[in-house]
């Protein structure tokens, strides 16, 4: 066999091999956002730090857990998105729409903020880390001469604390190549190279140590899987044509108690039972975000709500948000604060049933999907000595959109 | 080819290996695993409890625009006081949900046979039996049609909240949902094989605090309880399923340790009991053993040689942060089970 023929045959064989492999990967790649699988984009829609308790009543912090689920070293570029509001006439004073009247000097309004702080880190194979948002993680486990069993390290890794306290906002992380920090598909064939990042957030509020009283609520980070098509540039295409990542869902489905519903439990054997009063908060963040221009020019949408009670009766409402919205259900259609809540369509007094299904849809724009991500928190009041206990939950969803969302990353320097 | 050089022969081998691996992977990797995010045709609450301190709130919602009926099965897997083995007592009931209808009940009270709030009869889901104290087990609901045979409607979502009397702590988790894949043959043998219903997970990932590790915010020791339920269940012959689980746990230094556990019907236990019930400090899941706060534990159901019964499991975890406060921890999944699981519903007669 001549050298030329051998080379041609060699090329043909490799071509066949790559063809088979390329047929395999896109053919089986899934394309659904999720909270119970790893992915290439990790979103914690709600991160709260308020160590003095001035905004949320109790000292509060958020514990973040991030894990590399693959057998390879990976890296991530992450962004703290600071959506903390500040008083229009006292820019150093943090506020929320609910606390503006008490926090801001007379005549002041609470102006929504949007700034980002980015950072990057490496995770060695299968490595988990945890940190509190108030403290960050400036020293990783495998640094300073420490190495993993395979010689991998967390070199060039540091997570700063959130940029201010009080802080309310989100954390977004994008899986990148550990060599050049460019966006990449996942490294684990077991999940079709969909991405290797998984995470949890636990919002913990605790009274001081001399009277320990802890309340905690935990949710899974939302993950967007890689479609395994990625041009490695800093414009990430979520869903729609030429998608590099899952698109955000079309409709979010929240099953909840109507605000003010009294939940009775523990009835048995003549037991008097326990009664608690429920309220629900939702946090909404946009899927599109512009970290390149460092401004909130993409986020924001009109949110349409359809509410069904147990009698199959249907109501609707709507609201707008720009970059971040954390709101009690009853405040969606009434003024912030508790004064008008009894008149809300999310109030048990208006609906007449304990539970409801609320379907949340963001209105699309001509040039992008305008997708959103949602997490919810439920509060039950009236427990021990009037304490409030809470739980967090990932919200169900259904459907997809034919348009894309975009995340523009800051320059990779 | 007889005259091909050794290099070409080697490359041919590589090509066939790649092709074979791809073909194998096609069979192994599945597209629609169990989920907690999207509506399904089977909804599954792996932990429902009613005892002196704990009660469970169940929420179920029909996310479609048509009325659906459900066959639900409560399985009491509390330890038999005489043998210590799970009781595996099954009670089933049927309810219906009108279009987009949510419903809620508390495990200790259920729902009465008639509406107690004055609503019309056709808006009342139906009778849900109350659970006596001492119940510890699971709840599965399957969408059925008028003929009481399984239906393909992916309509259901659900949530369960375990609530403590003392301390009022809440642990809320979303129900696991199995989607109908369109290949529903309407018999009472439900194949979780990605053709009739979505498959159970091949690997479960639990990202957790090691037992007694200090909570980063409060400093109080954290402990984790896990609940495993095999996916396969034969409710017709009342035969519980046994599954072997292999655990690999990785700490923050990337160090790996392993353990194993056999689960029959249902297991609800502290994480350290998986490998060291007498002395938790010797467990691979204990902070004193690992030296780091968090770990990633990968749990793999071990396939068996038996045909027709898979070994998949689902898992829900609860983290206690001290002072009686706790949260539910939802695991992550990778891939669909290599062996399809089977749920056999009780036959009508």
Summarize pLDDT for B24-46 with one digit per residue, the tens: 343 334 455 788 999 999 999 99
Is residue B133 within 8 Å of B165, Cβ to Cβ? Answer: no
**Residue A358: inside a domain, yes or no?**
yes
Say if A15 falls within a structural domain.
no
* A13 within a domain of the structure (yes/no): no
The mean pLDDT value of chain A amounts to 87
For residue A11, pLDDT over 60 is answered with no
For chain B, domain boundaries: 1-30, 42-188, 201-344
Which residue in chain B is spatially nearest to A384 when comparing CA positions?
A: B167
Kindly write down the DSSP assignment for every residue of B184-237, as one continuous string: ---SSEEEESSSSBPBPEEEEEEEEEPBTEEPTTT-PEEEEEEEEEES-EETTT
**A274 contact residues in B (CB cutoff 8 A):** 55, 163, 165, 168
CATH architecture designation of domain B201-344: Sandwich (2.60)
* Cα separation values, A144 from A40, A130, B151, Å: 28, 18, 59
What is the tally of structural domains in chain A?
A: 2
Stretch A152-158: mean pLDDT: 94
Nearest Cα to Cα of residue B22 among A249, A27, A248, A152 = A27
Same-domain check for residues A272 and A210? no
Alpha carbon of residue B55 to chain centroid: 19
pLDDT tier at B146, thresholds 50, 70, 90:
confident
Range of the domain at A91: 30-238
Residue-level pLDDT at B303: 86
Q: From B316, which residue of chain A is nearest by alpha-carbon distance?
A: A36
Question: Do residues A200 and A272 share a domain?
Answer: no
Q: Please name the residue ranges forming H helices in A221-347.
A: none
For chain A, helix (H) and strand (E) counts, in that order, are: 3, 25
Minimum distance, in Å, between the CA of residue B37 and any CA atom of chain A: 5
Q: Nearest residue of B to residue A253 by CA position?
A: B63
Q: Do B4 and A397 touch (CB under 8 A)?
A: no
Report the range of poorest mean pLDDT among A13-22, A104-113, B8-17, B224-233: A13-22
Mean pLDDT of A285-297: 84
CB contact under 8 A, B332 and A36: yes
Q: State ipTM.
A: 0.83
DSSP-based helix, strand, coil % in chain A, nearest 5: 10, 45, 45
Would you call B64 an interface residue with chain A, using a CB distance cutoff of 8 Å?
Answer: no
pLDDT of residue A18: 35
- Cross-chain residue pair B61–A357, CB shorter than 8 Å: yes
Residues A265 and A220 in one domain: no
Q: Give the span between the Cα atoms of A44 and A40, in whole angstroms.
A: 13
Interface test with B, best of A16, A193, A357 (most B CBs within 10 A): A357
Backbone angles phi, psi at A110, to 5 degrees: -95, 115
CATH of the domain at A371: 2.60.290.11
Q: Is the pLDDT of residue A79 over 80?
A: yes
Residue from the list B3, B158, B325 with its beta carbon closest to the beta carbon of A1: B3
Does residue A192 lie in a domain region? yes
* Neighbour tally for B251: CB within 10 Å: 23
Structure tokens at B236: 């017709």
Please report the pLDDT score of residue B32 as a whole number.
58
Question: CB distance B327–A125 less than 8 Å?
Answer: no
Q: Are residues A309 and A345 in the same domain?
A: yes
Task: Give CA–CA dist A104/A95, Å, rounded.
Answer: 7
Q: Given pLDDT bands bounded at 50, 70 and 90, which one contains residue A16?
A: very low
Lowest mean pLDDT among A27-36, B199-208, B214-223, B318-327: A27-36
Q: Would you say residue A182 lies in a domain?
A: yes
Which of A132, A146, A274 shows the shortest C-beta gap to B217?
A132
Whether residue B9 is predicted with pLDDT greater than 60 in this model: the reply is: no
Yes or no, beta carbons of B99 and A14 under 8 Å apart: no
Q: What is the pLDDT of residues B80-108, one digit of tens each?
A: 888 888 888 999 999 999 999 999 999 99
Paired strand residues for A137: A159
Same domain, yes or no: A278 and A367: yes
pLDDT at A270: 65
> What's the pLDDT tens digit per position in B275-326?
998 899 999 999 999 999 999 999 999 988 766 678 899 999 999 987 778 9
**b/e burial code for range B254-270 (CB count within 10 A of at least 16 → b):** bbbbebebebebbbbeb
User: What pLDDT, on a 0 to 100 scale, did the predictor assign at position B308?
Assistant: 64
A188/B325 CB distance under 8 A: no
The reported pLDDT for the residue numbered B25 is: 40
A84 belongs to a structural domain: yes
**The last residue of a domain, from among A238, A261, A296:** A238
Nearest neighbour of B37 by CB, restricted to A14, A36, A263: A36
Q: Which pLDDT does position B204 carry in this prediction?
A: 95
B83 reaches A (C-beta below 8 A): no
Query: Do residues A220 and A267 both lie within one domain?
Result: no
CB contact under 8 A, A132 and B14: no
Q: Is B12 on the interface with A (CB under 8 A)?
A: yes
DSSP string, B298-338: EEEEPP-S-SS----EEEEEEEE-STT-EEEEPPEEEEE-S
């Amino acid at each position: 066999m001549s050298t030329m023929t051998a080379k041609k045959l060699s090329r043909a064989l490799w071509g066949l091999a790559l063809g088979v492999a390329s047929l395999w990967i896109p053919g089986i790649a899934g394309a659904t956002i999720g909270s119970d699988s790893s992915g290439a984009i990790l979103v914690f829609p709600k991160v709260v730090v308020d160590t003095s308790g001035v905004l949320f009543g109790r000292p509060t912090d958020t514990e973040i857990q991030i894990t590399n689920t693959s057998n390879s070293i990976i890296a991530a570029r992450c962004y703290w998105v600071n959506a903390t509001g500040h008083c229009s006439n006292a820019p150093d004073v943090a506020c929320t729409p609910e606390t503006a009247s008490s926090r801001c000097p007379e005549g002041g309004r609470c102006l929504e903020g949007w700034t980002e702080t980015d950072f990057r880190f490496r995770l060695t194979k299968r490595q988990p880390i945890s940190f509190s948002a108030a403290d960050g993680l400036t020293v990783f486990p495998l640094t300073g001469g420490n190495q993993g069993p395979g010689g991998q390290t967390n070199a060039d890794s540091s997570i700063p604390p959130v940029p201010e306290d009080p802080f309310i906002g989100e954390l977004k992380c994008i899986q990148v190549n550990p060599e050049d920090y460019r966006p990449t598909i996942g490294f684990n064939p077991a999940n079709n190279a969909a991405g290797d990042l998984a995470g949890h957030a636990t919002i913990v509020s605790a009274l001081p140590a001399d009277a320990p009283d802890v309340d905690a609520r935990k949710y899974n980070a939302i993950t967007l899987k890689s479609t395994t098509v990625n041009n490695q540039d800093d414009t990430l295409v979520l869903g729609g044509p030429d998608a590099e990542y899952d698109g955000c869902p079309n409709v979010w489905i929240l099953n909840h108690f109507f605000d003010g519903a009294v939940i009775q439990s523990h009835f048995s054997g003549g037991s008097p039972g326990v009664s608690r009063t429920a309220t629900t908060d939702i946090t909404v963040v946009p899927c599109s975000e512009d970290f390149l221009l460092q401004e909130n020019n993409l986020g924001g949408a009109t949110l349409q709500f359809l509410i069904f009670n147990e009698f199959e009766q249907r109501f609707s409402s709507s609201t707008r948000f720009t970059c971040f919205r954390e709101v009690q259900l009853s405040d969606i259609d009434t003024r912030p604060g508790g004064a008008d809540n009894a008149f809300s369509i999310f109030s048990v007094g208006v609906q007449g049933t304990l539970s409801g299904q609320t379907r949340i849809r963001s209105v699309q724009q001509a040039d992008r999907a305008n997708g959103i991500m949602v997490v919810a928190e439920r509060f039950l009041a009236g427990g021990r000595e009037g304490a409030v206990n809470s739980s967090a939950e990932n919200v169900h969803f259904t459907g997809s959109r034919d348009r894309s969302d975009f995340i523009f990353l800051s320059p990779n320097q | 080819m007889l005259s091909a050089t050794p290099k070409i022969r080697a490359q041919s081998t590589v090509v066939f290996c790649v092709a074979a691996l791809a073909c194998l992977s096609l069979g192994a990797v599945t597209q629609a695993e169990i989920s907690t995010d999207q509506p399904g045709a089977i909804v599954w609450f792996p932990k429902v409890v009613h005892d002196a301190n704990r009660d469970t709130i169940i929420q179920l919602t029909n996310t479609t625009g048509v009325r659906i009926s459900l066959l639900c099965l409560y399985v009491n897997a509390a330890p038999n006081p005489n043998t210590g083995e799970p009781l595996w007592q099954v009670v089933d009931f049927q309810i219906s949900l009108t279009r987009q209808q949510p419903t809620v009940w508390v495990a200790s009270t259920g729902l009465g046979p008639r509406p107690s709030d004055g609503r019309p009869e056709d808006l009342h889901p139906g009778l849900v039996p109350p659970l006596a104290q001492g119940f510890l087990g699971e709840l599965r609901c399957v969408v059925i049609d008028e003929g009481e045979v399984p239906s393909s409607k992916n309509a259901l979502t659900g949530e369960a909240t375990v609530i403590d009397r003392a301390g009022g702590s809440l642990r809320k988790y979303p129900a696991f949902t199995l989607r109908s894949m369109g290949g529903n043959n309407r018999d009472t043998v439900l194949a979780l094989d990605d053709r009739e219903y979505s498959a159970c997970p091949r690997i479960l990932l639990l990202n957790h605090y090691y037992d007694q590790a200090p909570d980063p915010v409060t400093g109080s020791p954290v402990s984790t309880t896990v609940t495993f339920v095999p996916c396969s269940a034969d409710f017709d012959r009342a035969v519980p399923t046994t599954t072997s689980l292999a655990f690999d746990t990785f700490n923050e230094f990337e160090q790996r340790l392993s353990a194993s556990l056999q689960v029959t019907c249902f297991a609800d236990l502290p994480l350290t009991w998986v490998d060291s019930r007498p002395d938790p400090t010797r467990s691979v899941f204990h902070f004193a053993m690992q030296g780091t706060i968090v770990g990633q534990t990968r749990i793999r159901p071990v396939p068996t040689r038996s045909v027709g019964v898979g070994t998949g499991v689902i898992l829900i975890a609860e983290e206690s942060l001290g002072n009686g406060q706790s949260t539910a921890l939802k695991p992550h999944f990778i891939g669909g089970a290599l062996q399809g699981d089977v749920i056999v519903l009780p036959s009508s007669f």
